[in-house]
Copies of this chain bind each other. A is one copy, B any other.
Amino acid sequence: MNNGRFPISLHILTLLARAEGSLLSSDFIAGSINCNPVIVRKEISNLRNSGLVESKEGKNGGAALAKPAESIMLSDIYGAVRQSSLLGNSRNTPNPDCAVGRDINTHLEHLYAEVEDVLVNKLHGISLADFSRQFD
Q: Main secondary structure on chain A at its contact with chain B? A: helix
Contacts of A3 on B, CB cut-off 8 Å? 2, 88
Count of chain A residues with a beta carbon within 8 Å of a chain B beta carbon: 52
User: For chain A residues 23-41, which have a beta carbon within 8 Å of chain B?
Assistant: 31-35
CB–CB B31/A87 < 8 A: no
Give the Cβ gap from A42 to chain B, nearest Cβ, in Å.
14
A7 to B74, CA, bound (A): 26
Q: Mark A123-136, 1 if CB is under 8 A from B, else 0.
A: 10010000110110
Choose among A33, A84, A132 the residue with the greatest number of B CB atoms under 10 Å from its CB.
A33
CB–CB B107/A131 < 8 A: yes
Contacts of A126 on B, CB cut-off 8 Å? 111
Give the Cβ gap from A76 to chain B, nearest Cβ, in Å.
14
Q: Which A residues lie at the B interface, using CB under 8 A?
A: 1-8, 10-11, 14-15, 18, 31-35, 74, 78, 84, 86-95, 98-101, 103-104, 107-108, 111, 114-115, 118-119, 121-123, 126, 131-132, 134-135
- Listed by A's residue number, 17 A-B pairs whose Cβ atoms lie within 8 Å are A1-B86, A1-B87, A2-B84, A2-B88, A6-B87, A7-B90, A11-B104, A14-B104, A18-B99, A32-B100, A34-B94, A34-B101, A100-B132, A107-B131, A107-B134, A111-B131, A115-B123
